Amino acid sequence: MQPTFSLTSPRTSGAIAVLCASVILAGCGKKQAAPPPQQAPQVVVFTVNPAALPMVADLSGRTNAYQVADVRPQVGGLIKQRLFVEGADVKAGTPLYQIDSASYQASYNSARAALTRAKANLLTSGPKVARYKELVAIEGVSRQEYDDAVATYEQAKADVEAATAALESANINLRYTTVTAPISGRTSRSTVTAGALVTAGQADALTTVQQLDPIYVDVTQSSTDLLRLKRQLADGSLKKAGDGQAKVNLILPDGSKYSEPGKLQFSGVSVEPTTGNVVLRALFPNPKGDLLPGMFVRAQLETGIDDKAITVPQVGVSRNQKGEATAMILNKENKVEQRVITTNGTSGTNWIVTSGLAAGDRVIVEGLQKIKPGAPAVAVPAAAPAAGGAPAGAKAPAAAAPAASAQ
């Protein structure tokens, strides 16, 4: 006979009780393993604090020599000798070339002899007029003879004057055979050598002398920016910097800052039709000759002082899909808010903000990857140390966490 089991037997009842207890325990274990509620991410914020800031316009431009003189011969002839070293500094009046002066010396000698002859004729005609004047009074000579003597005397005086002018002209041409530097400065390469034939006033310059200390820097500024600057100075939102001559700093092609500051000398009175720009000219000292004509530089022009300028770290500003500058703000409810802002240049590592932010706004500068607009966040100090892999300042209590300030 097969054995039979009954649900009411003690053995069966015990097995069922054990099975039910196992199921209940398993259910209780799953309920206790549920994850805790997610905490708000911690972020570092920069508190906006308006302060006085010099407004600097960053403009591109090129250097130009203070004075430029193309050296051309004023008399013709053969070049006998070059008297300077190419690329050397020369003083005004320094001989640069020597032209063959033989023919000019001969012309000078001839003019000097003509002047001597004219003066000799004047010596005889003068006393003759005096004698004839006495004789004509007693009718010792005729009136015609006296008039002829006076005419001869006046002609002799004119001959002396003409001979003097001819001698001076010959002397000038003789001096022009030595070609001198018209200004002080640095010479360029020579376009002629000894033996070359040159002519007076020729189109090609023999060399060029450029004065490089001081030196000009010509930069361009858009007419729109210039008008905005004038309006800001007029309504008082900007204060004038300095005593009327704006200070200019220079950034060299290698990115370094030029050691000598310059001053704005000139502002163009007309707008270039093709570009809409106005030319500004600044003057810089150049004692070491570091600046050379034609160099591409950037000029930082101090246009005024904004007493209530707002700046934020560049790391706290990004761009949206429309290309607009945006910043993540932690509002008073400790929730993230995305705000569109307007920037106008930089100051060090900060953006200068002209609209979109106000005093007291807290701009998120760290932890941007952990947040999204509308979500809560907790501000922590910028200098709080990280612990156990947590973000910087993770152990600081939310209520006591001060806002970070950019240095």
pLDDT tens sequence across 211-256: 999 999 998 888 777 777 677 656 655 555 555 566 788 999 988 9
The pLDDT score that the predictor gives to residue 387 is: 37
pLDDT digits (tens, 9 = 90+) for 305-315: 788 889 999 99
Residue 185 confidence (pLDDT) above 60: yes
pLDDT digits (tens, 9 = 90+) for 85-114: 999 999 999 999 999 999 999 999 999 999
Asked which of 64-78, 142-156, 285-299 is least confident by mean pLDDT, the reply is: 142-156
pLDDT digits (tens, 9 = 90+) for 326-381: 999 999 999 999 999 998 778 878 898 989 999 999 999 998 888 888 999 998 86
Residue 73 confidence (pLDDT) above 90: yes
For residue 156, give Cα distances in angstroms to 29, 119, 135, 152, 313. 139, 7, 22, 6, 90
Tokens for 368, please give them. 């941007």
Q: pLDDT-based confidence at 325, cuts 50/70/90?
A: very high
For residue 225, give Cα distances in angstroms to 53, 57, 115, 221. 18, 9, 68, 7
Residue 12 confidence (pLDDT) above 60: no
Please tell me the chain's helix, strand, coil percentages from 3-state DSSP, rounded to the nearest 5: 30, 35, 40
Percent of the chain with pLDDT over 90: 45
Q: pLDDT-based confidence at 37, cuts 50/70/90?
A: low
Averaged pLDDT for residues 162-179:
96
